[in-house]
Amino acid sequence: SQQGEEDPQALSIQEGENATMNCSYKTSINNLQWYRQNSGRGLVHLILIRSNEREKHSGRLRVTLDTSKKSSSLLITASRAADTASYFCATDSPRGSYIPTFGRGTSLIVHP
């Protein structure tokens, strides 16, 4: 069963614009993670935000978490063509907090 669901499914923007992706989940969590996947490759961890945190930054990435709404957002500022990838949120599984449960992902295309 999938905990997190990303929105939108697909996003197409121009280089230099900001990209915002959202994730909603169903049950309470200990942490939420965002991953990136280049076409045909494995996933790479981007950032983890704990349930007691509201916002976190890493370079051009900004993640927010609203546990009352059971939602998170990933903002990529000043996007580049190299940011083109699929982005997934992962939450705890009901089976165990160490088991990442993924949504269907957002496919981001950044046009040069």
Partner 1 sequence: DVKVTQSSRYLVKRTGEKVFLECVQDMDHENMFWYRQDPGLGLRLIYFSYDVKMKEKGDIPEGYSVSREKKERFSLILESASTNQTSMYLCASSSTRRTANTEAFFGQGTRLTVV
Q: Which residues bind partner 1 (CB under 8 A)?
A: 1-2, 30-31, 33, 35, 40-45, 48, 88, 90, 93, 95-105
Closer Cβ to partner 1, 83 or 92, answer by number: 92
My answer on whether omega of the bond before 8 falls inside 30° of 0, hence cis, is yes
CB of 108 to partner 1, least distance (A): 15
Pull the structure tokens for residue 3: 């905990």
Distance of CA 77 to the CA centre of its chain: 14
Closer Cβ to partner 1, 3 or 71, answer by number: 3
CB 21 within 8 A of CB 6: yes
